[in-house]
């Protein structure tokens, strides 16, 4: 089972559960009221355990009020509830009455205020799944991606509804698909993708559907719900809202509890553990562990609520998406350079915020897109141990282990925040290791890495920000020098591939001249200023920032030593 390979003609695969009404995400919506009550009750319990006296809870509520009032001074988003100020003014009025015990007869308590705030947050966060919307998206997305990846620019609308080229000839899927499919029927799957583009959510959702998996729930930034075109779909396709402006303890606990309870109820989930798109262009090096912790918490609760042999298992699957180019790269690298260079660099904004801008973004993607790759890493349990096709966990020695025992101290299954935090940290490290080893190197990455490293060597002693300001007319390398560098890096990548430390695309087995041609063609397909240019025997660049961005995809492999 585990070794079965699928060809492009096999997709889409049949659903592992044919009846959509039996999908966990469908049942979550069908039982929405009870689900939300469970979220609210558990959030209340968690908050009360942290602030276990009226005085402590009152002080924390004061902090929540203060943080929310600060947030309300900022520019509102279209997706914000219309009664935001009214709600929080009402909460403030009630909070003031807590200090008037001897002056005014009132039945307002700290617990009641906490309940109102939790109820507000839970109803803001909750997502839904609509069968008809899903079936509509199921028909539209294959045609959309077919036009993206096979139609000539400008002609895609004419054949949008026609027969399209098999998508998987353009999007190879690497990984143990059959194991993931099988384990999705035995437990709950958490897919943790890398994050480079605004297209990632659409791409991952479509991809998992092509694998025949039940629909997944996922957290989407509240700002995206301001875009009418996206909002209508996300509201009905299992997306729950994440407002990153809200940093207070009650909101964050409600959000984490929402995820925990959804996983407890069997809802397969997508987390982008990097938290946001990679600004530097490199594969993630650091993860935000909050939502990953909800997977571990849900697994622990399964062990508390079920006999050992019946406790559902939660499986974590890293997913690495690689594009030849990223439409948002100019804005992303500017963000990164501003953050790292502070006053040395000035940022220009490059985001979309309306349906019109989004349509333009999608059109550019359609008009310019080239092939991409998707690879799945090792299927793991919530502690980062490898999992076999039967769902059993194995340690680094290959020995079968019982994960439940890792939550037991002195013979009892207990809560230990410090221990659990270390477990989540370990899981995060295993995910990062998978991102690194299952990263698929494309020709564009190889060529950009080599050219930038050669320029760095040419201008040795010059700091990065000075190098990035080098005028285009002063940027030049000989083609022969680049070809030799590409050849050397290519050979090292083949060694890393043989050692299981990276994956190389089939094109990297071509001769060097063809690799350079293919890489330049793909990297220059969209951007107005070309990251790599060639004039006769001279290689240059019209945008060193973009060249640096794509170079970073091969950062941390030690390849610079082989140029």
State pLDDT tens for residues 1-38. Answer: 345 678 778 888 999 999 999 999 999 999 999 999 99
Residue 161's pLDDT band, with cuts at 50, 70 and 90, is very low
State the pLDDT at residue 327: 85
186 domain residue, yes or no: no
pLDDT score of 276 more than 50: yes
Average confidence (pLDDT) over 531-560: 97
pLDDT score of 142 more than 80: no
Q: Answer yes or no: are the C-beta atoms of 380 and 427 closer than 8 Å.
A: yes
pLDDT score of 349 more than 70: no
State the pLDDT at residue 168: 63
Lowest mean pLDDT among 80-84, 196-200, 423-427: 196-200
State pLDDT tens for residues 419-470. Answer: 999 999 999 999 999 999 999 999 999 999 999 999 999 999 899 999 999 9
504 domain residue, yes or no: yes
pLDDT score of 143 more than 80: no
State the pLDDT at residue 525: 83
Average confidence (pLDDT) over 158-172: 53
Lowest mean pLDDT among 104-108, 216-220, 273-277, 506-510: 104-108
Average confidence (pLDDT) over 301-312: 87
486 domain residue, yes or no: yes
| Average pLDDT of the chain to the nearest whole number | 88
Three-state SS sequence of 476-545:
CEEHHHHHHHHHHHHHHHHHHHHCCCCEECHHHHCCHHHHHHHHHHHHCCCCCCCCCEEECCEEECCCHH
pLDDT score of 250 more than 80: yes
519 domain residue, yes or no: yes
Which range of 159-168, 272-281, 426-435 scores highest in mean pLDDT? It is: 426-435
Number of domains composing the chain: 1
Find the domain containing 445 and state its range: 440-562
17 domain residue, yes or no: no
State the pLDDT at residue 162: 40
526 domain residue, yes or no: yes
Average confidence (pLDDT) over 162-168: 48
pLDDT score of 306 more than 70: yes
520 domain residue, yes or no: yes
Average confidence (pLDDT) over 474-492: 97
Q: Answer yes or no: are the C-beta atoms of 456 and 559 closer than 8 Å.
A: no
C-alpha 563/C-alpha 115 separation (Å) is 61
pLDDT score of 157 more than 60: no
Average confidence (pLDDT) over 530-539: 96
CA-closest candidate to residue 259, choices 279, 273, 246 = 273
State the pLDDT at residue 192: 98
176 domain residue, yes or no: no
Residue 103's pLDDT band, with cuts at 50, 70 and 90, is low
Work out the end-to-end distance of the chain between its first and last CA atoms, rounded to an integer number of angstroms: 42
C-alpha 535/C-alpha 539 separation (Å) is 7
What pTM value is reported for the model?
Answer: 0.90
pLDDT score of 370 more than 80: no
Say how many C-beta atoms besides its own lie within 10 A of residue 62's C-beta.
Answer: 12
Average confidence (pLDDT) over 368-379: 81
Say how many C-beta atoms besides its own lie within 10 A of residue 92's C-beta.
Answer: 12
CA distances from 489 to 323, 509, 558 (A): 20, 12, 10
State the pLDDT at residue 359: 58
The more confidently predicted of residues 491 and 325 is 491
pLDDT score of 104 more than 70: no
């Amino acid at each position: 089972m585990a070794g079965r390979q699928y060809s492009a003609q096999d997709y889409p695969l049949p659903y592992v559960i044919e009846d959509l009404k039996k999908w966990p995400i469908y049942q979550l919506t069908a039982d929405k009221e009870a689900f939300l009550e469970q979220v609210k009750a558990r959030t209340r319990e968690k908050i009360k355990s942290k602030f276990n006296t009226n005085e402590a809870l009152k002080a924390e509520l004061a902090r929540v009020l203060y943080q929310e009032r600060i947030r309300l001074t900022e520019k509102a988003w279209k997706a914000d509830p219309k009664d935001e100020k009214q709600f929080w003014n009402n909460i403030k009025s009630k909070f003031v009455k807590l200090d008037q015990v001897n002056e005014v007869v009132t039945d307002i308590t700290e617990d009641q205020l906490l309940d109102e705030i939790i109820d507000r947050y839970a109803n803001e966060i909750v997502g839904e799944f609509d069968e008809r919307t899903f079936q509509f998206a199921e028909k539209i997305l294959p045609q959309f991606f077919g036009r993206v990846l096979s139609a000539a620019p400008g002609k895609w609308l004419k054949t949008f509804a026609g027969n399209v080229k098999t998508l998987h000839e353009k999007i190879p899927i690497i990984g143990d698909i059959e194991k993931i499919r099988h384990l999705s029927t035995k437990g709950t799957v958490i897919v943790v993708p890398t994050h480079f583009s605004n297209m990632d959510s659409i791409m991952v959702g479509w991809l998992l559907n092509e694998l025949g998996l039940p629909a997944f729930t996922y957290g989407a930034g509240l700002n995206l719900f301001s875009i009418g075109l996206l909002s209508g779909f996300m509201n009905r396709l299992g997306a729950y809202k994440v407002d990153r402006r809200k940093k207070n303890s009650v909101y964050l606990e409600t959000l984490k509890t929402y995820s925990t309870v959804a996983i407890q109820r069997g809802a397969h989930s997508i987390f982008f553990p990097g938290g946001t798109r990679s600004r530097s262009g490199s594969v993630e090096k650091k993860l935000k562990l909050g939502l990953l912790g909800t997977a571990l918490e849900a697994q622990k609760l399964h062990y508390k609520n079920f006999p050992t042999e019946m406790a559902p298992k939660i499986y974590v699957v890293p997913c690495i998406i690689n594009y030849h180019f990223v439409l948002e790269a100019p804005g992303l690298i500017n963000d990164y350079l501003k953050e790292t260079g502070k006053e040395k660099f000035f940022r220009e904004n490059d985001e979309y915020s309306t349906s019109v801008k989004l349509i333009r973004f999608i059109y550019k993607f359609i008009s310019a897109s080239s092939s991409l790759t998707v690879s799945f890493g090792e299927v793991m349990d919530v502690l980062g141990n490898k999992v076999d096709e039967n769902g059993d966990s194995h340690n680094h020695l290959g020995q079968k282990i019982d994960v439940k025992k890792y939550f037991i101290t002195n013979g009892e299954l207990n809560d230990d925040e410090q221990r659990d935090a270390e477990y989540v940290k370990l899981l995060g490290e295993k995910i990062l290791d998978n991102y690194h080893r299952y990263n698929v190197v494309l020709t564009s990455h190889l060529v950009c890495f080599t050219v930038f490293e050669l320029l760095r060597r040419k201008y040795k002693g010059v700091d990065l920000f000075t190098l990035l300001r080098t005028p285009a007319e002063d940027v030049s390398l000989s083609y022969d020098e680049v070809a030799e560098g590409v050849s050397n890096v290519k050979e090292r990548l083949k060694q890393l591939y043989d050692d299981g430390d990276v994956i190389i695309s089939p094109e990297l087995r071509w001769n060097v001249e063809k690799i350079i041609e293919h890489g330049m063609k793909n990297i220059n397909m969209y951007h107005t200023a070309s990251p790599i240019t060639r004039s006769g025997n001279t290689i240059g660049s019209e945008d060193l920032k973009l060249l640096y961005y794509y170079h970073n995809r091969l950062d941390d492999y030690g390849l610079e030593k082989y140029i």
